[in-house]
Amino acid sequence: MKKANYDDIAADTFDLSRPISEERLKTWLDLISENVNHKEKIEFLDLGCGTGRFSIPIAKRLGYSVTGADNSEEMLVKARKKDEASQVKWDIQDATSLSYPDASFDAVFMSHLLHHVDDPSDIVNECYRVLRPGGTILNRYGSMEDIRDDPEHRFFPGTIEFDETRTPTLKQVEDIFQNAGFKDVSSKVLVEEPYPSPEVRLRGAELKFTSVLTLIDQSEFEKGLENFRKYISDNPGDHWLLEDRMTLTSGKKSD
């Protein structure tokens, strides 16, 4: 599978083009907290943490003891810079082969990670191994059926072919969780409006904010931008330009 390299996708660009409003962040923090078993000290792993968009607020606002792990040094450099109070432990790790001992964490969270590896079950099996009995796995992602018709796919149709080889459907994620041994597997789909305007979304596409845009031909990319700009100018009020559908799939390791 052709892979996106996050050492080449500037970490600054990543944050700029994936805005997360206070309201959306609060929704995700509430969902995380509802799913994690409460105890005095919660050891929490944010796997594929990127620039710490979630790791830092989880440590700061939920008070968990957070480890942020990623295989891109560039993303971790940016994450460390943002973590002014050094509340998170940052580790370079390959999610398919973690160096942590068995039963190290109470919860593992992933956001937009599973599609980056050839076999996502390699990551989910590692999550099972490093979780303590009763521990929680959480996966935040846009499932294939939910991203297929979004602007980044409709205006750049070559992305569909790439994503069909790498992005799982909701059912596939649930099956992978169950096959790894997780119980009580369930999913929740949220319709979000992460972009304050169509122009902000277009700006993100221009910066190749979603990794699949780095995988298509430059000529196709430029044609897609042209169509995207024209569509915005013809349909400035179209709500579809602002929406994303995001899924949270959760599961538990048996006690």
Ligand X SMILES: C[S@@+](CC[C@H](N)C(=O)[O-])C[C@H]1O[C@@H](n2cnc3c(N)ncnc32)[C@H](O)[C@@H]1O
- Which of 32, 56, 95, 137 binds ligand X (CB under 6 A)? It is 95
- Which of 70, 126, 146, 150 binds ligand X (CB under 6 A)? It is 70
- Which of 91, 94, 145, 220 binds ligand X (CB under 6 A)? It is 94
Which backbone phi and psi does 138 adopt, to 5 degrees? -135, 130
DSSP per position, 80-137: HHH-TT--EEEEE-BTTB--SPTT-EEEEEEES-GGGSS-HHHHHHHHHHHEEEEEEE
- Which of 88, 107, 117, 147 binds ligand X (CB under 6 A)? It is 117
* Cα distances (Å, whole numbers) of residue 14 to 83, 107, 207, 231, 241: 16, 25, 8, 24, 19
- Is residue 113 at the binding interface for ligand X, with CB under 6 A as the rule? yes
- Is residue 49 at the binding interface for ligand X, with CB under 6 A as the rule? yes
Check: CB of residue 110 under 8 Å from CB of residue 136. no
Exposed e or buried b per residue across 103-112, where buried means at least 16 C-beta atoms within 10 angstroms of its C-beta = ebbbbbbbbb
- Is residue 244 at the binding interface for ligand X, with CB under 6 A as the rule? no
- Is residue 57 at the binding interface for ligand X, with CB under 6 A as the rule? no
Number of CB atoms found within 10 A of residue 193's CB: 13
**Binders in 218-237 for ligand X, by CB under 6 A:** none
CB-closest chain residue to ligand X: 50
Q: How far apart are CA 230 and CA 235, in angstroms?
A: 8
Minimum CB distance to ligand X smaller for 117 or for 231 = 117
Minimum CB distance to ligand X smaller for 25 or for 170 = 25
- Is residue 126 at the binding interface for ligand X, with CB under 6 A as the rule? no
Which range binds ligand X by CB under 6 A, 43-51, 58-66, 192-200, 225-233?
A: 43-51
With H, G, I as helix, E, B as strand and everything else as coil, classify residue 183: strand
Least separation in angstroms between residue 70's CB and ligand X is 4
Least separation in angstroms between residue 235's CB and ligand X is 28
> Quick one: which of 166, 164, 182, 165 has its CA closest to 174?
182
Query: Which uninterrupted H or E stretch holds 218?
Result: helix 218-234
Minimum CB distance to ligand X smaller for 49 or for 176 = 49
Pairing of strands 43-47, 105-111: parallel
Number of CB atoms found within 10 A of residue 84's CB: 8
- Is residue 53 at the binding interface for ligand X, with CB under 6 A as the rule? yes
Minimum CB distance to ligand X smaller for 14 or for 182 = 14
Which range binds ligand X by CB under 6 A, 44-52, 160-168, 194-202, 229-237?
A: 44-52
* Cα distances (Å, whole numbers) of residue 192 to 11, 20, 152: 23, 10, 16
- Which of 59, 75, 144, 176 binds ligand X (CB under 6 A)? It is 75
- Is residue 216 at the binding interface for ligand X, with CB under 6 A as the rule? no
Which residues of this chain interact with ligand X, rule CB under 6 A? Answer: 6, 48-50, 53, 70-72, 75, 93-96, 111-113, 116-117
